[in-house]
Amino acid sequence: MLLVDEIIQNEDGTVTGKYTVRGDEYFLKGHFPNNPIVPGVILCEMAAQSSCLLMADKVKGKVTLFTGMNNVKFKNPVRVGDTVEFTCASIRSIGPFCFMKAEGRNNGKIAMSGEFSFALVDKEKIQ
């Protein structure tokens, strides 16, 4: 389930991910009838996928597992035709754990913000 159209590495060490909502996505069905809005948990997944570029040098031979979310807030809805842009930064890494923060904007307005954690686990350990 790829929920990023484009990710770029910025000169300041952050990354920017973008996704344009087409309208045929499975997660819009029933959320909400006649008023499709991207669910908050999907916005979190988009932000998490965008932030994975920050771990690119650490993931060889690993599986990236999404382990937590903190201080997540939803401010403005994302609808069909909108392009949400995520700016993500690394907070810290401790052993196999990586901590990121992300902010998603839609038409210049904050749609969501939060902090995310990931575990980088050897592939053979989760088979």
User: Considering 4, 16, 31, 83, which one is annotated as catalytic?
Assistant: 31
* Residue 1 forms part of a structural domain: no
CATH number at residue 30: 3.10.129.10
34 tagged catalytic:
no
CA 71, 77, 78, 82 dihedral sign is: negative
* Residue 45 forms part of a structural domain: yes
Paired sense of beta strands 62-74 and 6-9, if any: unpaired
* Residue 83 forms part of a structural domain: yes
* Residue 81 forms part of a structural domain: yes
Supply the range of the domain harboring residue 19: 6-126
* Residue 59 forms part of a structural domain: yes
- Gap between the Cα atoms of 106 and 85, Å rounded: 6
Number of domains in the chain: 1
Q: Is the pTM of this model over 0.75?
A: yes
Determine the straight-line distance between the first and last CA of the chain, rounded to whole angstroms: 20
Residue-wise pLDDT tens for the chain (127 aa)?
Answer: 899 999 999 999 999 999 999 999 999 999 999 999 999 999 999 999 999 999 999 988 899 999 999 999 999 999 999 999 999 999 999 999 999 999 999 999 999 999 999 999 999 888 7
